[in-house]
Amino acid sequence: KQEVTQIPAALSVPEGENLVLNCSFTDSAIYNLQWFRQDPGKGLTSLLLIQSSQREQTSGRLNASLDKSSGRSTLYIAASQPGDSATYLCAVRVKAAGNKLTFGGGTRVLVKP
């Protein structure tokens, strides 16, 4: 059974510092990996989608890498801002029946002004 782990569970940084969020998964038989942002009481907003054949994806200040063989992905957020404060979730789409999405527990980020 696929397991997804995100470490650390919480992170606090001063404004301007780069953020590094880690995600690991146990089964490399995935179609893709997706990073989401969730604000308190809100739904999930998709940030980046990396297909299994890709090594990284970039959008603005966000960059996500994928190393499928080692079961790891890293989300980098450059020059953090207080508006980046949220919970970040990674999820992998497994190749098992149903192509279901398996989520990590999330990393709660606080960027202090």
Residues that bind other proteins (CB under 8 A): 31-32, 34, 36, 41-46, 49, 51, 89, 91, 93, 98-101, 103-106
Least separation in angstroms between CB 71 and other proteins: 18
Question: For residues 1 and 14, which CB has a smaller minimum distance to other proteins in the complex?
Answer: 1
| CA–CA distance, 16 with 31 (Å, rounded to integer) | 34
**Residue 24 neighbours by CB under 8 Å, 6+ apart:** 4, 5, 6, 7, 71, 72, 73
Q: What is the 8-class DSSP label of residue 78?
A: S
Least separation in angstroms between CB 98 and other proteins: 6
Question: For residues 68 and 93, which CB has a smaller minimum distance to other proteins in the complex?
Answer: 93
